[in-house]
């Protein structure tokens, strides 16, 4: 391991708690009898459903067309019959149209899916295929990947570096760790396609130092690649945050309100690289992903290849069922994921983990908020160099201009502040609410529940 570990200023030392699943090889979760595939599981415009009840669909067939440039296609994750299109809540709280497909159990592959030859692959093809095959950021943000590789505007800085994010600083989540170990070649191939599409000269695969097995394997595999290197990053939360990863690996700082493209960098998750590799080389759309099902409320914690649209309850059944009464269900990681009220939500493209904790787990206990004692732990922990307690002060007073004057918008909602706060103030929740009000010009944005 290299002596120099890249890192950033601020952050918190969050216990990784990955031992439940980091040695468990990826298994396949059987396709459920019914899948619920949301049309809006990416940032941007929802896809337009192009199937209707009664239609027969095959595995990998397009069922939703991209609704615009910043949008992505959606594919059937099983073969069978469309039962209907229903509105369902997403784990994030919004409502999306879901295409419900009854599985015929045959997994008949769509007729269009044929592997490509190397000669067919051009930057233009990669860019169009990324959208057509529904590739979005699989680290959780679900930003459509093809947008990042669109040719830069006139005069903009060209992309010169691609960073693959294999950090996975979220506690309990191990899907990227296992992907690094088990799909190493696909990751490197995906990175090569990204380099080809963007014309970038250098690819960096960033791995946190708590995954020595993945680092060793990856360093061995890229030893002969001239333009690809492995960057070992210090174990600190939120090392996997896009802006902080760029700073740690390239020393560049993404400007306020800026995008990674402004400093000539594109960051993609390793899971996205695998999906892109399959989409381009094998022509297979994104219809399944690795999901970590873990927590003390799961009988057989593990990493499961799960079809998009599988309900959490089906995934949990595959993981041996619940152990005790669930007291907390988290969709995504412990630091940035969403707590949900039931197992009745579908796995979407950004779902890296479903974590289930028992009633008696400390995570299932509500800790009341105390007055701020101005200890400054949140200021120290903020990787964005903000003063969370000051922002929250303004938000509590409903002074939206004041909150903006202390850079409320720059918050990446990583949760380092609330993690460190001895008074247990849900700082991120306040800041998120403040952003909604600022964005919605004082009326609570799109969320009808925000009323003060």
Residue numbers at the binding site for other proteins (CB under 8 A): 8-10, 12, 14-15, 171, 243-244, 247, 253-258, 325-330, 334-342, 359, 363-367, 370-377, 379-380, 383-387, 389-390, 406-407, 410, 413, 415, 418-424, 426, 428-429, 432
For residue 412, the minimal CB distance to other proteins (Å) is 9
Looking at the Cβ atoms of 254 and 286, the one nearer to other proteins is: 254
Residue with tokens 């269900």: 329
Q: Which is nearer to other proteins, 351 or 389 (CB)?
A: 389
Using the minimum distance from each CB to other proteins, give the nearer residue, 190 or 238: 238
In the complex, what is the shortest distance from the CB of residue 174 to other proteins, in angstroms, rounded to a whole number?
A: 16
Q: Are strands 202-208 and 161-166 parallel, antiparallel or unpaired?
A: parallel
Looking at the Cβ atoms of 100 and 425, the one nearer to other proteins is 425
Q: Scan for tokens 């009326």, then name that residue.
A: 443
Q: How far apart are CB 337 and other proteins at their closest, in Å? A: 6
The smaller minimum CB distance to other proteins, of residues 36 and 247, is found at 247
Q: How far is the CB of 419 from other proteins (least distance, A)?
A: 5
Nearer to other proteins, 205 or 336 (CB): 336
- The answer for residues whose C-beta is within 8 angstroms of residue 245's C-beta and 6 or more apart is 163, 165, 167, 206, 233, 239, 267
Residues in the chain: 452
Quick one: 258 exposed, middle or buried, by C-beta within 10 A (0-12, 13-18, 19+)?
exposed
Q: How far is the CB of 392 from other proteins (least distance, A)?
A: 12
* Separation between Cα atoms, residue 29 and residue 72, nearest integer Å: 25
Under 8 Å CB-to-CB from 254, ≥6 apart: which residues?
A: 242, 243, 246, 247, 260, 262, 263
281 or 432, CB closer to other proteins?
432
- Is residue 337 within 8 A of residue 294, CB to CB? The reply is no
Q: Which residues pair with 59 in a beta bridge?
A: 109
How far is Cα 20 from Cα 302, in angstroms, rounded to an integer? 8
The smaller minimum CB distance to other proteins, of residues 15 and 54, is found at 15
Q: Which is nearer to other proteins, 38 or 326 (CB)?
A: 326
Radius of gyration of the chain (CA): 21
User: At closest approach, how far in Å is the CB of 124 from other proteins?
Assistant: 33
Backbone angles phi, psi at 439, to 5 degrees: -65, -40
Q: Up-side HSE of residue 214: CA atoms within 13 Å toward CB?
A: 30
Question: Which string of DSSP letters, residue by residue, matches 16-67?
Answer: ---TTTTTSPPEEPPPPSEEEEES--SSSSPPEE---TT-EE-BT-EEEE--
Closest CB 182 distance from other proteins, rounded Å = 27
Tell how far CA 3 is from the center of its chain. Answer: 29
SS3 content of the chain, % helix, strand, coil (to 5): 30, 20, 50
Beta bridge partners, 311, equal: 346
Minimum distance from CB of 361 to other proteins (Å)? 10
Nearest distance in Å: CB 173, other proteins: 12
Token couple for 10: 């601020």
Q: Nearer to other proteins by C-beta: 231 or 340?
A: 340
Residues 41, 107 contacting (CB under 8 angstroms): no
Q: Is residue 80 a contact partner of residue 54, using CB atoms and an 8 Å limit?
A: no
Nearest residue (CB) to other proteins, 134 versus 240: 240
Output the smallest distance, CB 317 to other proteins, in A.
18
Distance CA 139, CA 143 (A): 9
Minimum separation from the CB atom of position 201 to other proteins (A): 24
For residues 41 and 142, the answer to whether their CB atoms sit within 8 Å is: yes
């Amino acid at each position: 391991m290299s002596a120099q570990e890249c890192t950033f200023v601020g952050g918190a030392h969050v216990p990784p708690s990955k031992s439940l699943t980091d040695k468990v090889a990826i298994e396949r979760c059987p396709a459920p009898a019914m899948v619920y595939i949301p049309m809006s599981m990416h940032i941007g415009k929802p896809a337009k459903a192009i199937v209707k009840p009664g239609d027969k669909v095959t595995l990998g067939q397009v069922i939703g067309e991209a609704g615009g440039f910043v949008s992505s296609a959606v594919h059937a994750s099983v073969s069978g019959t469309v039962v209907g299109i229903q509105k369902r809540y997403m784990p994030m709280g919004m409502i999306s149209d879901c295409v419900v497909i009854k599985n015929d159990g045959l997994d008949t592959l769509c007729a269009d899916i044929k592997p490509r030859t190397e000669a067919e692959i051009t930057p233009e093809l990669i860019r169009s295929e990324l959208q057509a095959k529904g590739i979005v950021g699989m680290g959780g943000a679900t930003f459509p990947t093809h947008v990042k590789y669109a040719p830069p505007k006139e005069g903009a800085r060209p992309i010169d570096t691609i960073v693959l994010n294999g950090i996975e600083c979220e506690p309990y989540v191990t899907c990227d760790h296992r992907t690094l170990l088990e799909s190493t070649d696909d990751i490197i191939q995906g990175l090569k396609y990204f380099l080809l599409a963007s014309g970038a000269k250098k690819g960096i695969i960033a791995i946190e130092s708590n995954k020595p097995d993945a680092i060793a394997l990856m360093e061995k595999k890229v030893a002969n690649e001239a333009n690809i290197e492995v960057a070992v990053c210090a174990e600190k939360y939120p090392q996997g945050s896009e802006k902080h990863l760029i700073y740690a690996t390239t020393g560049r700082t993404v400007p306020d309100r800026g995008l990674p493209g402004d400093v000539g960098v594109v960051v993609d998750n390793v899971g996205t690289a695998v999906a892109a590799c399959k989409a381009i080389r094998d022509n297979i759309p994104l219809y399944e992903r690795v999901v970590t099902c873990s927590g003390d409320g799961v009988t057989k914690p593990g990493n499961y290849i799960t079809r998009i649209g599988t309900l959490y309850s089906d995934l949990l059944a595959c993981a041996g069922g619940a152990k005790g009464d669930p007291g907390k269900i988290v969709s995504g990681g412990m630091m940035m994921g969403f707590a949900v009220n039931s197992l009745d939500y579908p796995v979407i493209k950004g779902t890296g983990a479903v974590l289930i904790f028992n009633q008696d787990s400390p995570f299932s206990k509500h800790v009341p908020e105390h007055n701020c004692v101005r200890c400054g732990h949140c200021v120290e922990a903020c990787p964005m160099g903000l003063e969370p307690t000051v922002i929250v002060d303004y938000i509590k007073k409903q002074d939206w201009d004041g909150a903006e004057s202390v850079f409320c918008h720059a918050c990446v909602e990583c949760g380092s502040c609330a993690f460190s706060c001895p008074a247990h103030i849900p700082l991120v929740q306040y800041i998120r609410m403040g952003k909604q009000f600022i964005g919605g010009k004082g009326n609570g944005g799109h969320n009808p529940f925000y009323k003060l």
